[in-house]
Amino acid sequence: MMKIAVALGTFDGLHTAHREVLTLPNGFKKVAVTFDMPPKMLLKGKCELILTLQERQEYLKFLGLYKGKIDGIDGKQTKSAVKNLQAKYFTRKSDVDGLYGKNTDILLVNAYRVKKYTSNFDLTEFKCGCHTKYCTGYPAYLSINLLRNIQTMRNNYGGIKVTCGLRCKKYNSSLRGSVSNSYHLYGRA
């Protein structure tokens, strides 16, 4: 009897679960069922997708980490740039693996947004206060509106300091007085 392994979802990158299905031993029929619209989009009306390879290269180039052509090929230069990005911002050694998944996507998008939409903020100012005890430090995508607004505030009023722009769920729930739907969880605080 043939065993079947199925990966379901919108194909927006090779995630851990996809890799697990693809690396199953012979004897498994491997099937991927993809949707043209993410299920989360249908249920919640919006969601973020992992960047395409060309977008990754463009973002990495904008950040000064990638020197190659924007060709959509996941070659040595692209992989090296991804690993350098991880090494720059992730502090747990286990997160610096050179693999591109959701955590690295969030990191890359956030680094790009901070550089593009602010002039004197650093991504690390927004890092989760758990200090990587529970997460990579960047558990959600930062809102472009938030970044524009705080830059305007810093320009107009001076010394605005971000102490914890992002929070993971576990850290948020450990804080006295925090609410379960805090904007910190969604990159909007």
37-84 tens-digit pLDDT:
566 655 665 566 688 899 999 999 999 999 999 999 999 999 999 999
Task: Say which residue, 29 or 55, is predicted with more confidence.
Answer: 55
What tokens does 156 get? 């107009």
Structure tokens, 39: 């299920």
Q: What is the pLDDT of residue 50?
A: 83
Query: How many residues are listed for the chain in this entry?
Result: 189
Pairwise CA distance, residues 127 & 130, whole Å: 9
Amino acid making up residue 10: T
Q: Which amino acid is residue 31, in one-letter code?
A: V
Whole-angstrom distance, CA of residue 77 vs CA of residue 152: 36
- Percent of the chain clearing pLDDT 70 (strictly above): 85
Q: Quick check: 22 and 37 in contact, CB under 8 A?
A: no
More confident residue, 9 or 88: 88
Which residues, in sequence order, are bridge partners of residue 132?
A: none
The lowest-confidence range among 128-142, 149-163, 173-187 is 149-163
Q: pTM for this one?
A: 0.76
Q: DSSP letter string over 54-99? A: HHHHHHHHHTT---S---S---HHHHHHHHHHHHHH--SGGG-SS-
User: Scanning the structure block, which residue is given the tokens 């990587």?
Assistant: 132
Evaluate if residue 26 carries a pLDDT over 70.
Answer: yes
